[in-house]
Amino acid sequence: MSTREQVLDAALRTLNADPTASLATIAEAAGVGRATLHRHFPGRDDLVRELGDRSLDRWEQTQDASGMADAIADGGAEAVTACLHSMFPRLVVDAEDHGFALTDSFLVCDPELAARTAALEEREVGLWRTAQAAGVVRPELPARWYLHAGYGLLVAARDALRAGDVARRDVADLVLDTLLHGIGTSTPTTTSTTTTPEGGAR
């Protein structure tokens, strides 16, 4: 492993545990001096930006590995459901491994990272639109709401795993079941339809 990768791996572990950790703390965790760390990453923003790119790489790889493009092209309920059941266990792992990226505000302020995030969001919204058309999820809600709801549940999964409140083997099923079926014991007799235009960032 190169020194750069060693620093990135240590930074990821350290920032997942403490998002406010200093570069000195990260250097110590990586087993390198501050001078060595600064040769690779002149400032904290440079380090966090690269970690952000790595987290987005993982998200894109997860979308590809779960067969998202094929599921959208197929358009059928079986293909979409199979994609969701393949994707969410991977997303849970990503949320645990790259947990700091879920809530670090820098990642949505950096223009390049924000643009990549928006493109990946659109791919995922496309899956939810397909899921709506296939009858897998409710059609009257904005497709982007499913994106945001899934994101919120991944943050919850990350926090629950850190706290030891759920078993790792169960958490992906908990996330997907809650997203698709909710937590209520019965279906409401009336449903308000949201007409607000889709939009917003993940």
pLDDT of the residue at 150 = 97
pLDDT of the residue at 107 = 77
pLDDT of the residue at 25 = 96
Transcribe the chain into DSSP letters: --HHHHHHHHHHHHHHH-TT--HHHHHHHHT--HHHHHHH-SSHHHHHHHHHHHHHHHHHHHHHHTTHHHHHHH--HHHHHHHHHHHHHHHHHHHHHTHHHHH-THHHHSHHHHHHHHHHHHHHHHHHHHHHHTTSS-SSS-HHHHHHHHHHHHHHHHHHHHHT-S-HHHHHHHHHHHHHH-S-SS--S--PPP-SPP----
pLDDT of the residue at 106 = 79
For the chain, list the domains and their CATH numbers: 1-42 (1.10.10), 45-202 (1.10.357)
CA distance 91 to 34: 33
pLDDT of the residue at 200 = 45
* Residues 35-60 pLDDT 10s: 999 999 999 999 999 999 999 999 99
Would the CA dihedral through 162, 68, 197, 119 be positive or negative?
A: positive
pLDDT of the residue at 163 = 94
Contacts of 153-162 with CB under 8 Å at 24 or more apart are: 153/178, 153/179, 154/91, 154/92, 154/94, 154/95, 154/102, 155/95, 155/102, 155/103, 157/92, 157/95, 157/96, 158/95, 158/96, 158/99, 158/102, 161/96, 162/99
Render each residue's pLDDT in the chain as its tens digit; 202 residues: 789 999 999 999 999 989 899 999 999 999 999 999 999 999 999 999 999 999 999 999 999 999 999 999 999 999 999 999 999 999 999 999 998 888 888 778 899 999 999 999 999 999 999 999 999 999 999 999 999 999 999 999 999 999 999 999 999 999 999 999 999 986 555 444 444 445 444 4
